[in-house]
Every structure is written in structure tokens, then in C-alpha cells.
């Protein structure tokens, strides 16, 4: 499950957004000032940050800049009443991935979080997100949905890693055959179609595209 740190000094707004996001299967931790947020960050891993800019103990832009100085690469969305172009420029220059102005529709925030997670690909050096709730741990060759392990056959894991290596590119069947089967095995069109079918059922049909007479493309 995607873990969000929401830094917001407006308690009512923070709790309202927390309720909405958790009803949509996100795990949300609230902090009402930067000091609390820093303590939370030192204790937990977060997949995305939601930061207000005007905070009681610092400026959200300054706080993110401090985190970046420690090589924190967590995707960050700023939520603020500010609407001046200088703040917008500063946010993106420091490393924010998005900027949303108050007041906002919670559904808009939901979609922006989804986009930020999917565009980031990696929330750590070993985890790739296909959706906010579906991730693949490269180091452990394990697929998770809502933090529960999805069991895959060995060949399905190997095929997924091949498709990931060529993300958003068409991989020819010949390339897949060469990398998925060793010289002692007999590549099979039927087996490949079965593995693709099983992966599409888990990842979503739109994630693995069949490029006619060419091969397959994994969309991430």
C-alpha cells in the first residue's frame, strides 16, 4: 500500500484529506509542522510527500530543499494557497513533481498522486510501481498488490524482468525467446502467450500491448 506523508498545519483540512485518501486505499501519516514531519521521515519510509508551503516553523520549499540535500528522492506534491509564479518556479526547481492550489477537489489530488507514483517508476532503488497499489521488488523478484505477495511462476518473473528492461519499447519475440529460455530448453509460442496472458490479468490488459507481428510492449 502506498504510504503518504501529508504535512499540513490546517488540522481540519489534513484530517479531511486523510479520510478521503484512506478510503481510497492509501496509508496516510499526518504531520502538522516540519519538525514532526522530519521525525516521521526518520522513522518510516514514504512513497510520496504532500507538503503545504506556509508552515508554522518553516517554509515548505525550504524544508524540501533540506531533504533534497540528504538525497531524499521521494516524489513531492505541494498543496498551497499561494498562486504566484515565483513559488511555482521554486517548487519545480527544488524538485517537486506537482503543485496544486487550495481549495481543491480531493479527486483531483487523488489523480495527481496516482500520476506522480506512476511517473516516478521507482520509490526506492529496487521497487517499481505499475500502479499505486501494485509494485515489483527487483531484488527479491516479488510482485506485491496492496502489500500482499502475488505468486508468479519462475518464467513469468523472468518475462516480467525482460519487459521491464525494455519498458515502453517493443520487445521482439526473438529477443524474449533468447532471454527467457536457455539452449537446453525449447521456446514455445504457446507458453509465451500463456505467460503474457497471466501477467496481463495481474497488471492489467492495457499494461502489456501486443504489437502485431513484432512483439510485446510493457507500458509503465
Residues 144 and 97 in one domain: no
CATH of the domain at 34: 3.40.50.2300
Predicted TM-score (pTM) of this structure = 0.58
Using one digit for the tens of pLDDT, what is the confidence trace for 14-38? 999 999 999 988 889 999 999 999 9
| Pairing, β 3-7 against β 27-31 | parallel
> pLDDT-based confidence at 123, cuts 50/70/90?
very low
Report the alpha-carbon distance of residue 175 to residue 68 in Å, rounded.
Answer: 39
| Domain contains 128 | no
Report how many domains make up the chain. Answer: 2
Q: How far apart are CA 115 and CA 82, in angstroms?
A: 22
127-184 confidence digits (pLDDT tens): 788 887 898 888 788 999 888 999 999 999 999 988 988 788 888 998 899 889 877 7
* Domain containing residue 55: 3-120
Amino acid at each position: 500500500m502506498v504510504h503518504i506523508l501529508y504535512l499540513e498545519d490546517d488540522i481540519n483540512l489534513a484530517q479531511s484529506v486523510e479520510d478521503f485518501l484512506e478510503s481510497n486505499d492509501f496509508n496516510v501519516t499526518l504531520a502538522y509542522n516540519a519538525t514532526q514531519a522530519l521525525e516521521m521521515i526518520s522513522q518510516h519510509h514514504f512513497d510520496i510527500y504532500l507538503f503545504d508551503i506556509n508552515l508554522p516553523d518553516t517554509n515548505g520549499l525550504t524544508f524540501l530543499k533540506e531533504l533534497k540535500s540528504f538525497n531524499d528522492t521521494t516524489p513531492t506534491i505541494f498543496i498551497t494557497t499561494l498562486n504566484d509564479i515565483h513559488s511555482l518556479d521554486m517548487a519545480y526547481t527544488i524538485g517537486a513533481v506537482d503543485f496544486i492550489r487550495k481549495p481543491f477537489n480531493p479527486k483531483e489530488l487523488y489523480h495527481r498522486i496516482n500520476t506522480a507514483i506512476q511517473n516516478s517508476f521507482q520509490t526506492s532503488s529496487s521497487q517499481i510501481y505499475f500502479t499505486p497499489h501494485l509494485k515489483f521488488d527487483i531484488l527479491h523478484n516479488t510482485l506485491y498488490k496492496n502489500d500482499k505477495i502475488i505468486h508468479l511462476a519462475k518464467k513469468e518473473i523472468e518475462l516480467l524482468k525482460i519487459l521491464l528492461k525494455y519498458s515502453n519499447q517493443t520487445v521482439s519475440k526473438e529477443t524474449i525467446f533468447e532471454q527467457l529460455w536457455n539452449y537446453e530448453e525449447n521456446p514455445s509460442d504457446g507458453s509465451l502467450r500463456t505467460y503474457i496472458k497471466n501477467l496481463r490479468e495481474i497488471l492489467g490488459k492495457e499494461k502489456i500491448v501486443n504489437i502485431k507481428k513484432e512483439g510485446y510492449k510493457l507500458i509503465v
